[in-house]
Homo-oligomer: A and B are copies of this chain.
Amino acid sequence: MTESNNERITTTTIITKTAKIDHPINELIARRWSARAFSTKPVEKSKLLSILEAARWAPSSRNEQPWRYIVFTNENPEKLKKAQSVLKDINEYAKRAPILICAIARKTYSDNKNYNRLHFHDLGAANENMFLEAFNQGLIMHEMGGFGSIQYT
């Protein structure tokens, strides 16, 4: 690929798509979709912070807020590269993204250490808030389950 081609790809056109809804819903929810075509342009830190802020305000069982995020950006290219390296081939497209976020959930309640059977459910809620906020910030996010979780050591 030539340098100029590469530059053309990095323009930040975002394809919009609205859900074909049967009943009216909030625009934010209707407009979110899981695009795969990423610009490599860095994301402003303020936008990233807003996205993470949105996750904080999801509901959770006993307000445990079991979600944790590891954020990989170009601030540390080496770690970003390492994170990209564990993506499965099917998620090759995500190697272009300027940010990778690894979402994790704490399995036990902080106070009594009992198993929190809702931890993964609540992580899903927080993640959805992030996806919606990313759209609100004019960005796109795409979730992936396909990565080698043992590879990254």
Contact = CB atoms under 8 A, between A and B. Distances in A.
- Of the candidates A26, A123, A124, the one having the most CB atoms from chain B within 10 angstroms of its own CB is A124
A26 to B, nearest CB: 4
Interface stretch (A2-10, A76-84, A92-100, A129-137): A129-137
Interface in A43-72: 46, 49-50, 52-54, 56-59, 61
A1 interface: no
A66 to B, nearest CB: 11
Interface of A: 19, 21-26, 28-30, 32, 34, 46, 49-50, 52-54, 56-59, 61, 117-118, 120-129, 131-133, 136, 143, 145
Given A29-B57, A118-B120, A121-B127, 9 more contacts: A26-B28, A26-B136, A29-B54, A29-B132, A32-B57, A117-B145, A120-B124, A122-B124, A125-B125
